[in-house]
Structure formats: structure tokens, C-alpha cells
Structure 1
Amino acid sequence: MKCGVIGLGDMGSGLAKNLLKAGFETWGFDLEPTRLAAFRDLGGQSAQGVGEVGAACDAVFVMVMNGDQARAVILSDDGLLPQMKPGGVIILSATVKPFEARAIGADLVESGVHIIDAPVSGGFPGAQSGTLTMMAAAPHDVLDQFAPVMEAVSANIHRVGNCSGDGQTVKACLQSLIGAQFSATFEAAALAAKAGVSGQVILDVFSTSSAGCGVVNNALEKIIDRRFEGTGSSIHTMHKDLTISMGLGEELGVPLHTAAAAMQIFHAGRTKYPDGDNWVCTRVIEEIIGAELHRDGAK
């Protein structure tokens, strides 16, 4: 089975690396020449365009930023669908709005090409290490057929539904929770800084308490080491994901008070520090209170 990856950024490069590691011949395309060069250095087959990947591959991951990009990559005249053979599969691993995934799935029904709606969680570390959690939605026979491909990039594959859009719905619920965890961590870090507590103390206590988890611990590590850029977790991605969560809440009439507060914190962080990663939101709060949380003590 030949595999492809469209989008070779922080997440897609990890997918490609682990597909190659699992022994799959892997094709890739990205608009950034430097990313294509890095992919070739890993042993991948770089393509001149999206259609070339579709023509060469049986299974293609789409890891782009938003629904408009996903739709163009999959359905445009020079996209995947016109070139892929019947029986192949498009794995929509990007996070998009549920209705966008449903619409793309509907456009594939008569094509003979399958779609697996499979957004992921685990961020840059999970993508690079092949330990992502995948929320996969497709008929069971399709999931069975392409399980080896998904297992190459994911440690946990959850079958969350049969239809395109089901995976994105679960991801929207998850991101509403993760956004709230992030925001509470940023505020707690700022509170500790103003109170004069050291970052190491906060990390030691939080990580061994009932509040400790991967989201909280990782965020605190980045904050107390003042690593606000270049960590593979662009603030734009989480802001987009929270927008999707809020949109689903509006569509279904579900109040999301905590997610809404989280979105505003991320909105402030993105506006002030557009090149930052998620944790940079803490800096916005620190600037208001005039204190910073460092590993060796508040300043």
C-alpha cells in the first residue's frame, strides 16, 4: 500500500516520518520547498502537486489548516479525487468544522473513493513520535482495511462513528475541554507569579495532584522555561479549534461558558503575539499584573 501526506508542517511531517518508519512508500506535497526538502531527506517521494500524490497512492492523509483548504485539496480539478483510483481512501486528519467534513464526505459518495474523518490529538510531540490519538469515523470495513496505515501514526484509534463529520464533532468536544485546561493553567501560572511562588514548585505540585495531566504539565513546562515560540503548537491552531467548538455549540444550542472564556484568552494572545505558541497567552496576563513565572522563581 502506498501512502501520501498533503501538508508537511509540524503535524504532517510527523505523519510522513512514521509512515516511512512503518515501511510504507510515502509521497508528500507541501507549498513550502523547505518542507519538501526535509521530507525527501527522510526518504519520502516529493510530488509536484496534490494530484500527483493522489495518482500514486492508495491512502492519503490531508493535514491542512482549515476546511476551505481541505475541500480544495480533495475536490478541486487538480486535487486528490480526480486522480485517485476507486477503492482508495482519503484520511481527513486535519481539524475542520463538522459540517465541512460532512459536505466533503457527501461529495465523495459516488466516486468510489472512501473517506475516513479522522482528526487527531497529541500535538507536535504526538505526531512526531507516532503516538497520536485518532478519532476515526467511517464504515467498519473501511476502517478495518486501512487500519495498518492509521496504526503507523497513532497509538490510540477510537472508532467514533460511521459518517464523515462524526470525528470532527468529537474533536470539537475535546478541544472545548483542552482550551479550558490551557486557560486555567495560564491564569494559575500568573497567580503564582504575582504571589511570588517559583515555577518549579508550581510544576511539582500541579503535576502530582489530581489536576495534573499532559495538557497542564506540558503548558507549565513551557511557561516556566519561557518557551513561547517554536514549540510546534502555534496559537493560531488552537484559536481555530476553539472557534469550531463555539460554532458547534451555537449550532446545537449548547452554552459553552468556559470554552468562550478560553477563546477570548487565546484571542488576546494571538492578537498580541501572532507568532507565538499556545503558552504565550500567559505573557498577556503577566504583562497586566507585572510579574512573570520562571522555573527558579517569580520575577
Structure 2
Amino acid sequence: MTDKTNPTRNVAAFGLGSMGYGIATSALRGGHPVWGVDINREQMRRFAGEGGQTGALEEAADRLDAVIVTVLNAAQAEAVLFGENGIVPRLKAGASVLCCATVPPVFARDMAARCAGHGVHYLDAPISGGSTKASQGELTIMGAGTPEAFAALRPVLDSIAETVFELGDEAGAGSAMKAVNQLLAGVHIATMAEALTFGMTQGVAPDKFVEVISQCAGTSWMLENRAPHIVAGDYTPHSQINIWPKDLGIVLDIARSASFSAPITAAALQQYLAAAGMGLGGEDDAAVAKVYARNAGLTLPGEA
């Protein structure tokens, strides 16, 4: 069982992408021994070089107190937890899973039930804040799970998050809230791109757009965060285009199950699909502006 008087937890962090790497390093800074796991071996070596555990996870699995899962989708999360080499059956009773992936609520509830069958706590804990806040340990977590799950994971949560919302005792509520957030975030990015390129057709330069609109009622956090990427012509991925067909697809799946029409979400999704079709899937999601620019014959900053 986990020693609740000891704030140190043995942690395995699955997924060392832009968000997962920041989460893992924040947990490390919080004083927790952390094993970093990713299909990209170079990321694992990089993390070990920053102080991550270097021993084989297989030998440490039964000593783990917490598993953090920050992967792309539900299929990957299930593979980590219960796949051929799934970690949950190897965990000790009383260990905990912190699932930060964006997944459907029904999936979160299923994972919680399956973890409980092994005596393992599960916290449905999708995240928001971007890669910078992840690396600074300042994420917002939309958590849902039993009081025991929250208590067991508190030292880890304290090291990776600035704000932890406790949304109920049953898994699924966190993922539902994340779907609401992703609806807004995905639409805001696409709308920012539409507004910025629309402004260009009227002679409004992208840098002037950012300067003025960020001080006006039409601004949003996403506009202020992503529009500068377009101004700089820098599409280094902090959050990839490829994330949005998945996340907005989840939103629309949930909407259909609730007999709810979400036409604005559907319209935004089409722009991300178009961007992916242009070969931009691995670029920063601000690159959705390139769809509008192409259709309007515009040249964005940094383009020939």
C-alpha cells in the first residue's frame, strides 16, 4: 500500500511528447523518482539524462505508486494500461493511475472499473494549459475519481498542476469537461485563423491584428497564444494539427450520443481535416491559417 505520510511517490510516466515530457519533468522536480516511457527511445534517453530513473521499468513495476498516462488517444491509453505488456496487472494494490489523455467519458468509466478490479485507483484527469505550463508544473487538471484516488495522487498532482478541479467521485466527469474545453479551444484556434486571414484581405497585417485584437473584446486565450506563431512564421508544434480531428471527433461523438447538434464544431473540424490533407498534420495547430491563406491566395509571414 502507498505510505500516505511520505510525499514521495515512485512514478512511471507513459508518453513523453510535448505535454507528457513537461509533466514528467515537473514530477521529477517535485522530488519523485520517475521512469519515463515512450516509443521514442531518444526521448527516454533525454529524460534519463535530466534525472529520470534508468533502471528497467519491468523490474520496478511492483514498486510503483503512480502511473501517469499522457498519450494521444483512448486506444493508446488502453494499450498502456491493459495491453499485451499492460502496466496495471503488474501494479501493487493501492497504486494509482492518473490518466491525462483526452478520451470519451465512457472510456474513462470503463478504465476505472477495470483498474478497480486489480485494486488500483484511477483518476480521470485530462489536462489544459499547453506544453509551457506542463514544463512549469502549472497545468489545470479536470479531475474525477474516488476520494481515495485523489488522496493517493495528491503529492503527484501538487508537483504537476497549479489548479486541480475535483469534479466528482466517478470517472468520466473530467473527460466530459475536457470535451467542453476542447470544443471551445478548437473552435477558437480555427476562428482566430479565419479572422487573421480575413483581416489580411482588408490590408490588416498579422502583427497589427495581434497588437489590436488582443486588446479588444474579440480576443481569447487561444488567439493571444497562437496568433503570434503565425506572425513569426514559426509552426514548431506545441500542439499539433493532428490533435484536433481526434479531439473534435470525440466532441461530435459525444454530441451525437446526446442528440445534440454542434454545427460550429463540425465546421472547425473540417478546417483541421483540410490542414491535415495539405500535409500539415505535424505542424503547430496555428498552421490551420494556411488553409485559409491557400484558399484566398494570401502569403503568410515567413512564406515565400
Instruction: Name the TM tier (shorter chain).
Output: over 0.9
Q: Tell me how far apart the structure 1 counterparts of residues 59 and 102 of structure 2 sit (CA, whole Å).
A: 24
1:191 equivalent among 198, 202, 224: 198
- Which moved further from structure 2: 205-214 or 11-20? 205-214
Q: State the TM-score, normalizing by the size of structure 1.
A: 0.93
Task: Render the CA deviation track for 1:242-297: whole Å, top value 9, x for unaligned.
Answer: 111111001111111111111111111111123322111101110111123449xx
Q: Tell me how far apart the structure 2 counterparts of residues 201 and 193 of structure 1 sit (CA, whole Å).
A: 10
Please, what is the CA RMSD of the aligned residues? 1.8
Task: Say whether 1:8 aligns with 2:9.
Answer: no
CA contact (8 A) 2:145 2:169 kept: yes
State the match for 2:77 in structure 1.
70
Task: Say whether 1:17 aligns with 2:8.
Answer: no
Distance 1:63 1:52, change over 3 A: farther
How far the C-alpha of 1:140 sits from its partner, in A, is: 2.1
Task: Say whether 1:27 aligns with 2:23.
Answer: no
State the match for 1:255 in structure 2.
261
Task: Render the CA deviation track for 1:42-95: whole Å, top value 9, x for unaligned.
Answer: 10014645x556333101101111111111111135211111111110000111
Number of matched pairs: 295
2:166 equivalent among 159, 166, 177: 159
Task: Say whether 1:213 aligns with 2:220.
Answer: yes
Distance 1:179 1:84, change over 3 A: same
CA contact (8 A) 1:136 1:159 kept: yes
Q: What percent identity do the matched residue pairs reach?
A: 29
Q: State the TM-score, normalizing by the size of structure 2.
A: 0.92
Aligned structure 1 segments of 4 or more residues deviating by more than 6 angstroms: none
Q: Tell me how far apart the structure 2 counterparts of residues 239 and 131 of structure 1 sit (CA, whole Å).
A: 26
How far the C-alpha of 1:32 sits from its partner, in A, is: 1.0
Task: Say whether 1:43 aligns with 2:55.
Answer: no
1:264 equivalent among 266, 270, 275: 270
Q: AA paired with 2:21?
A: S
Alignment partner of 2:180: what SS? helix
Q: AA paired with 2:53?
A: Q
Unmatched runs of 5 consecutive residues or more in structure 2: 1-8
Q: AA paired with 1:137?
A: A
Q: AA paired with 1:227?
A: D
Alignment partner of 1:266: what SS? helix
- Which moved further from structure 2: 242-251 or 106-115? 106-115
State the match for 1:99 in structure 2.
106
CA contact (8 A) 2:89 2:118 kept: no
Q: Tell me how far apart the structure 2 counterparts of residues 179 and 88 of structure 1 sit (CA, whole Å).
A: 34
